[in-house]
């Protein structure tokens, strides 16, 4: 594992508001062509967030075990943006990568914004009301910034003079707690536990969705009303995270973490 701090994080827009750290996931991929593409994407993603995210942030780069040349290129693209860095040293383990990154980010903040190196923010997004909601309401764990989807059952609520939509636990969507495009409070991490390690991304996210549905008294995920139908992101390309684990290894890990989840205890 490699960790380094480059610049201190910036403060929030007001003393009463917490800082937000963008936890940005990256990995060079299985070959040189994909690595070069991912660097090209990141060179577009960073300025898209600079221009359209209307809230001061610092950054954490969560690298999934890339080679030194790729890491050096990523950090060069970061320029003078305040950031920290971790490397999982375990190419292809998204859960371990996220856990290392979140542990580092939570040393300086209670709220993180999950993002990926191939997602462009194409319209302005003011997250200050979302930060306020997470700060002031202990029953909310996440603010999702994705659009409405037919597989999400939503229930509107009023908080702080705004309409929010709770993602019901009965929603058939298998990816309720997605690892991109959401603001996450530390309390959700404490309640639901670290991300499962040793699983590919879709299986890992299904496990997190299972926890969200199953843990009694769980924290809510909400989508702001104004974001339900507003196009705001685009992917640079179809996913190039083209890696798979052997079925036997994945099945064993899935069983191990299913048992872990069933035994997880809350304070």
Structure confidence by residue, pLDDT tens digits, 222-267 = 999 988 887 777 877 644 333 333 344 444 443 443 433 333 333 3
DSSP H or E run through 28:
none
Interior angle at CA 181, CA 113 and CA 174, nearest 5: 125
CA dihedral of residues 147, 63, 187, 45 (deg, nearest 10): -30
Q: Which of 105-109, 144-148, 174-178 has the highest mean pLDDT?
A: 105-109
Residue 194: phi, psi to the nearest 5? -60, 160
Q: Tell me the per-residue pLDDT of 147-164, one tens digit each, with 9 for 90 and over.
A: 777 788 999 999 999 999
pLDDT of residue 176: 78
Round to whole Å and give the CA distance between 194 and 137.
22
pLDDT by residue (tens digit) across 169-206?
Answer: 888 887 777 777 899 999 999 999 999 998 888 888 88
What is the separation of C-alpha 109 from the centre of its chain, rounded to a whole number of angstroms? 14
Domain ranges of the chain: 2-263
Q: If 0-12 CB within 10 Å is exposed, 13-18 middle and 19+ buried, where does residue 69 land?
A: exposed
Average pLDDT of the residues of the chain: 82
| 2-263: CATH class | alpha beta
CA 154/CA 165 separation, integer angstroms: 6
């Amino acid at each position: 594992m490699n960790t380094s701090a480059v610049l201190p994080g910036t403060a929030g827009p007001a003393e009463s508001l917490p800082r937000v750290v963008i936890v940005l996931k990256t990995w060079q991929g299985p070959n040189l062509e994909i690595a070069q593409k991912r660097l090209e994407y990141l060179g577009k993603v960073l300025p898209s967030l600079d221009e359209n995210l209307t809230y001061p942030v610092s950054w954490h780069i969560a690298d999934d075990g890339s080679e030194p040349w790729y890491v050096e290129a990523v950090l060069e693209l970061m320029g003078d943006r305040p950031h920290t860095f971790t490397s999982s040293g375990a190419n292809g383990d998204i859960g371990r990568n996220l856990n290392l990154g979140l542990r580092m980010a939570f040393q300086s903040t209670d709220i993180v914004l999950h993002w990926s190196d191939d997602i462009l923010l194409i319209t302005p997004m003011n997250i200050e009301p979302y930060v306020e909601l997470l700060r002031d309401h202990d029953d909310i764990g996440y603010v999702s910034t994705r659009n409405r989807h037919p597989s999400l059952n939503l229930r509107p609520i009023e908080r702080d003079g705004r309409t929010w939509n709770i993602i019901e636990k009965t929603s058939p969507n298998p990816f309720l707690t997605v690892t991109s495009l959401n603001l996450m409070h530390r309390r959700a991490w404490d309640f639901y536990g670290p991300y499962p390690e040793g699983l590919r991304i879709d299986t890992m996210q299904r496990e997190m969705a299972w926890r969200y549905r199953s843990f009694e008294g769980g924290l809510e995920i909400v989508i702001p009303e104004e974001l339900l139908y507003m196009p705001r992101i685009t992917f640079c390309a179809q996913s190039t995270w083209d890696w798979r684990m052997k079925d036997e290894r994945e099945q064993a890990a899935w069983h191990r973490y299913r048992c872990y989840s069933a035994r997880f205890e809350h304070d």
